[in-house]
Structure 1
Amino acid sequence: MTLFRRLFLAAVVAGVLSGTAASVVQQVTTVPLILEAERYETVPAPVAAPAANAEHAHNQAGHAHSAPAPAEAVTTAEAFQRVGLTVVANLLVGVAYGLLLAGTMLLVGAPVDARRGLVWGIGGFIAFALAPAVGLPPELPGMGGAALEARQAWWIAAALCAAGGLLALGFAKNRFVIAAGVVLAALPHVIGAPHPESPEGVVPPEMAARFAVLSIGVAALFWAALGSACGALMQRVMPARR
């Protein structure tokens, strides 16, 4: 029971540290892009015009698509609320992933420290950030997409299959098991992620691409911090396995 409590404490501390680090970086990277994308969501749809004014209506529609609406004033209370919710969400995610990572380390039984924890963090980044992003990149508000349930199901499948494949590559000794892990990791991508029949959205492509890259970068920082902290703390939990 003492081991479980110490394991839980290590996972919580590592999750809080990584979640806090991600929250700070997000405020200067992805959050400004989200706020900018929300301005594009408020652009009114063009009003239908008579045939004689078709060219003028086309120009107006193009202008409305490319220019965001004027920024609405955000009160201090609203700003603090958004920051607070972001931090709380990141902390909860950090603790949840920390418990998952620490529990997996304990079950595997391999020696752990900060350096080995970083390797585990890289694995977590590949499984829960990079692999799903190959099929479904991080999206800004106002971007078109397939049905939410279909995207969620595919994301979960891609993450779990990638995690299973990485565990097989890292710890399996049977070649058949390793080959099965590789096939498992590739299976969701062979099936394909759900996408809308026609691309829609009001957000400029360059903004969407920048957001995807920055989001993946923040995820890499989060997992590196989580893995290193979790490994260093787990070293104290399992001193005999150093």
Structure 2
Amino acid sequence: MPVFRSIVFAAAISGLLVGLLVSVLQHLGTVPLIAQGETFEKAPAQPAAGHAHGAGGNGSPAAASVAADEAWEPRPGLERNAYTVLFNIVERIGFSLMLAAALILSGRPLGWREGFLWGLAGFLVFVLAPGIGLPPELPGIPAAPLWPRQIWWVGTALCTGAGLWLILFKRHPAAAILGVALLVAPHLVGAPQIDITGNPVPAALSHRFVVAVFLTTLLSWSLLGALTGYFGRRFLASPQSRTA
């Protein structure tokens, strides 16, 4: 119980701090780009084939219009910003709990350096590897159906995590070969794609958004790992946790 309580406290503080920082970075970097992308998404629909972004993959403009009318979204301004900050904090607390559990189960000493390395691993597993095949997308960009993309994303994250574990912890030639194979396999299969005949979003805007997302998440994961390791060590070493 003392260990569990220490993990929860460390994750709560780390997630709160990183969630607030990420919210500021998003407000300065990605949010303005998303707002520009939304102007293309909400533009009058063109008759060109292949644009099924808002139609749930059925390609029906009428269905897309109905879905757009019925979909709830927070009002711009304070309400939208508040939901964004809340989501960022809750998400980072969850990721911090996962990192703390991984750190303890690995048997390695807690600390900000070890946490930083695990945070980088989290970035590789959950952001960079899936992002190679499915880069972050602005609103208005045509995309393949959701379910195939989600299945490929989850499979890529699992293969990347397993591959890194085999390479870094098994330290055996056969394990390293299998680990490399797992890292490469999802990209040989390829992410679900569609033929885009008329992308309304400028390529330069999409490129800026991808770079901004990758840089923000890289900072988020590395800092979250470092703080999780730091606070986890502090709470586990506190007199209260030793005597509880």
TM-score w.r.t. length of structure 2: 0.81
For 2:76, what is the secondary structure of its paired residue? helix
Deviation for aligned residue 1:173: 2.4
Question: How is 1:28-47 mapped onto 2 (pairs within 5 angstroms)?
Answer: 28-45=28-45
Deviation at 1:122, TM superposition (A): 0.9
Pairwise mapping of residues 8-157 of structure 1 onto structure 2 (< 5 A)? 8-45=8-45, 78-157=76-155
- Which amino acid is the alignment partner of residue 141 of structure 1? P
Q: Determine helix, strand or coil for the equivalent of 1:44.
A: coil
Letter in structure 2 aligned against 1:176: A
Q: Give 3-state SS (helix, strand or coil) of 1:78's partner.
A: coil
Superposed displacement of residue 34, structure 1: 0.5
Cα deviation per residue 1:143-201 (whole Å; 9 max; x = unaligned)?
01100111111111111211121222221122222221221121111110001133543
Q: Count matched residues.
A: 212
Deviating beyond 6 angstroms after TM superposition, the runs of 4 or more aligned structure 1 residues are: none
Alignment of 1:211-230 (within 5 A): 211-230=209-228
Cα distance in structure 1, aligned partners of 2:184 and 2:194: 22
RMSD over aligned Cα atoms? 1.9
Amino acid at match of 2:132: V
Measured at CA, do residues 164 and 200 of structure 1 come closer, stay the same or move farther in structure 2, by a change above 3 Å? farther
Range with greater deviation from structure 2 (129-138 or 181-190): 181-190
Take 1:46 and 1:165, find their aligned partners in 2: how far apart are those partners? 43
CA distance 1:39–1:116, shift in 2 (3 Å) = same
Amino acid at match of 1:26: Q
Q: 2:163 aligns with which of 155, 165, 169?
A: 165
SS in structure 1 opposite 2:109? coil
User: Do the aligned partners of 1:17 and 1:225 also contact (CA within 8 Å) in 2?
Assistant: no
Contact 2:42 2:140 (C-alpha < 8 Å) held by counterparts: no
Please, what TM-score do these two structures have when normalized by structure 1?
0.82
- Superposed displacement of residue 238, structure 1: 4.7
The answer (yes or no) to whether the contact 1:115–1:228 under 8 Å persists in 2 is yes
Instruction: Give, in whole Å, the separation in 2 of the partners of 1:33 and 1:148.
Output: 22
Gaps in structure 1 of 5+ consecutive residues: 48-76
Secondary structure of the residue aligned to 2:77 is helix
Query: Match for 1:133: what amino acid?
Result: G
Q: Aligned to 1:233, which of 227, 231, 234?
A: 231
Please tell me whether the aligned partners of residues 16 and 95 of structure 1 are also in contact (alpha carbons under 8 angstroms): yes
Which AA in structure 1 matches 2:80? R
Most deviating of 84-93 and 137-146: 84-93
Match of 2:201, SS state, is coil
Structure whose alpha-carbon radius of gyration is higher: 1
Contact 1:23 1:86 in 2 (8 A): yes
Residue identity over aligned pairs, in percent, reads 37
Contact residue 145 and residue 200 of structure 1 kept, 8 A: no
- Whether contact under 8 Å (1:166, 1:181) holds in the other structure is yes
